Structure 1
Amino acid sequence: MNLVQLIGEPWDEYGLVDSGGGRKLERYGDYRFIRPEPQAMWAPASEDWDAHGEFVPGSDEEGGGRWRFDKPTPEGGWPLAWDDVRFTAQTTPFRHLGFFPDMAPVWSWMREQVADLDAPSCMNLFGYTGVGTCAMAARGAEMVHVDASKKSVEAARANAALSGLEDAPVRWLVDDAVKFTAREVRRGRRYDGILLDPPKYGRGPGKEVWQLEQGLPGLIADCRKLLDQDSRFLFLTVYAVRMSALAIGELVRQAFADLGGTVEAGELGVREEARGLALPTAIFARWSR
């Protein structure tokens, strides 16, 4: 199993401007924001951070906190773009801004895996606001987008509309990702690729409880059953847990041992503009044909 890094580079409408002292300064189009970042243990390049707002974390380990704004910021969000995909950025109660910029190299990688297929069939589990779904649909993929949050799926559909993908072949599903995947296995379905970004903890629309450490092995096993010798990829990201890339890489390696192909694991990160250093953000494991 190979250990690799996927580092997101800045683009016109997003960049990690500076980081350090447990915080990071990012630009989202015309707006700049400061957010907590425990992994930025080094000193920042500059002490003078000019931002529109900052997320002030709560005192407990489980999160919480609030945004403090120093300059006017659109309450309803504002449009951004990555490549040929448009979407809305917006400050959320969960400290992020409606998408995960470190996923940009993942979106590019998934496109590469199916570039030679006509209308590949792919699934985005825990799909959130759908930027990954739109990235694939914009290149002709037939997508199944699953998230337990009705609000997130509505935001994903709105992002698809911004990208001119209202009529793209996307199934938008408000459903429990684990239960839906199990049903797809029973139906005998197959996919060319699967992206999954499970949370540490969550609840489905029927109050189903999800805990990553307990639920992930079974979910990966079911995802394997939806992929076959002609499938191209599975990409798993894991955020905010005390877990190793080696651990999830071994989980995927064992599940996909009979399919051959390549299993890699490692870290996602974002390139800082000030000094070019890489800020780690998450761990991942992936299988590809």
Structure 2
Amino acid sequence: MTDFQTLVTEPWDDYGLVDSGHGRKLERYGRFRFIRPEPQAMWAPASTSWAADGDFIAASDDEGGGKWHLSRDVPRGGWHLRWEELRFQAQNTAFRHLAFFPDMMPQWSWMRERTAEGSEMLNLFGYTGIGTLALAAKGARVTHVDASKKSVEAGKSNAFLSDMTDRPIRWMVDDAVKFAAREVRRERRYDGIVLDPPKFGRGPDGEIWRLEEHLPGLILHCRQLLDENSKFLVLTVYAVRMSALAIGNLLQQALGDLGGRIEVGEMAVREEARGLLLPTAIFARWTKD
């Protein structure tokens, strides 16, 4: 494995981490600003007064969830944002997110650099499809898999907003583990795989996903879908008591026979107020270059 790395999301026109501290963060999504809980922001904020269009109030740890308190100006049906050539919809979701994960931006850029015209890519736990569209824009054929029909439909809508409905994307509502196992039986192979799994989830037929329990088996399936000509596998992990070194070791054991290298580290977003880095996730990725 290489040295531990930090992948940093820098502000862009339609997104920025404005300020953070005292267990909260203030972000801008296009023309709107929102406050969300952020346990990792243990420091004091730059400003003691935040002006926002919405605030997510979390429930207790035992209950989970929470509720948005939004101004009248925030469109409940969402609004459009842009990253590079992609257009997509942001929206206040019941899970405190805004329908995409801006800290994935460095991963999107890294994968695009390794994507050639006609490459076969697999996006497991693909959510609303920004990563899928980022790869498709480089000429890749992408299989997008998510257990949520609503998320897959949002991905299709984002493809329409980006004028990419003609791109070769397979939109699949399916359980990631079962889908990967079927692809192994079909003897399919991919040039790249990206996994962004939740800590806990349910498949379309009630299948249970628990990260610590099911991730090792899924990685072994993914190994069988890669070969010596494949380019990368990217794994990101959120909201768990797990080390980047641990998931790096998992990839090293499963993919070590392919050669290449394993990189591990943290993902973070740079705060606009002071330049502080707010950690958001851990990652491990394999590449042949």
Q: TM-score range by the shorter chain?
A: over 0.9
Amino acid at match of 2:214: G
Structure 2 partner of 1:143 = 142
Deviation at 1:71, TM superposition (A): 4.8
CA distance in 2, matches of 1:215, 1:222: 11
Counting only pairs closer than 5 Å after superposition, residues 24-35 of structure 1 correspond to structure 2 as 24-35=25-36
Structure 1 partner of 2:54 = 53
Structure 2 partner of 1:76 = 77
CA distance in 2, matches of 1:100, 1:67: 18
CA distance in 1, matches of 2:233, 2:256: 13
Structure 2 partner of 1:95 = 96
CA distance in 2, matches of 1:284, 1:174: 25
Structure 2 partner of 1:5 = 6
CA distance in 2, matches of 1:196, 1:226: 13
- Partner SS for 1:194: strand
Structure 2 partner of 1:208 = 207
Structure 2 partner of 1:66 = 67
CA distance in 1, matches of 2:63, 2:220: 29
Q: Does structure 1 retain, via aligned residues, the 8 Å contact 2:118–2:139?
A: yes
Counting only pairs closer than 5 Å after superposition, residues 1-289 of structure 1 correspond to structure 2 as 1-2=1-2, 3-61=4-62, 63-114=64-115, 117-289=116-288
Deviation at 1:53, TM superposition (A): 0.5
Deviation at 1:60, TM superposition (A): 2.3
Deviation at 1:72, TM superposition (A): 1.8
CA distance in 2, matches of 1:230, 1:201: 32
CA distance in 1, matches of 2:208, 2:260: 33
Q: Does structure 2 retain, via aligned residues, the 8 Å contact 1:14–1:26?
A: yes
Q: Does structure 2 retain, via aligned residues, the 8 Å contact 1:126–1:177?
A: yes
Amino acid at match of 2:159: A
Amino acid at match of 2:279: P
- Given the two structures, how large is their TM-score scaled by the length of structure 2? 0.98
Q: Does structure 2 retain, via aligned residues, the 8 Å contact 1:113–1:288?
A: no
CA distance in 2, matches of 1:75, 1:284: 32
For 1:206-236, what per-residue CA distance to the aligned partner results, in whole angstroms no more than 9, with x for missing partners? Answer: 1111110010000001101101111000000
Deviation at 1:264, TM superposition (A): 0.8
Deviation at 1:82, TM superposition (A): 0.5
CA distance in 1, matches of 2:97, 2:204: 22
User: Which segment drifts farther, 71-80 or 43-52?
Assistant: 71-80
Amino acid at match of 2:261: T
Indicate the percent of aligned positions where both proteins have the same amino acid: 67
Segments of structure 1 that go 5 or more residues without pairing to the other structure are none
Q: Does structure 2 retain, via aligned residues, the 8 Å contact 1:53–1:71?
A: no
CA distance in 2, matches of 1:71, 1:24: 21
CA distance in 2, matches of 1:163, 1:82: 10
CA distance in 1, matches of 2:273, 2:63: 31
Deviation at 1:138, TM superposition (A): 1.0
Amino acid at match of 2:144: H
CA distance in 2, matches of 1:198, 1:62: 22
Deviation at 1:283, TM superposition (A): 0.5
Q: Does structure 1 retain, via aligned residues, the 8 Å contact 2:194–2:234?
A: yes
- Given the two structures, how large is their TM-score scaled by the length of structure 1? 0.98
Amino acid at match of 2:198: P
Count of paired positions: 287
For 1:56-100, what per-residue CA distance to the aligned partner results, in whole angstroms no more than 9, with x for missing partners? Answer: 000124621100124520011000011011100000000010000
Deviation at 1:39, TM superposition (A): 0.2
Deviation at 1:119, TM superposition (A): 1.2
CA RMSD of aligned residues (A): 0.8
CA distance in 2, matches of 1:62, 1:178: 28
For 1:240-278, what per-residue CA distance to the aligned partner results, in whole angstroms no more than 9, with x for missing partners? Answer: 111111100100011111001010111011010001111
Amino acid at match of 2:106: P
Q: Does structure 1 retain, via aligned residues, the 8 Å contact 2:54–2:69?
A: yes
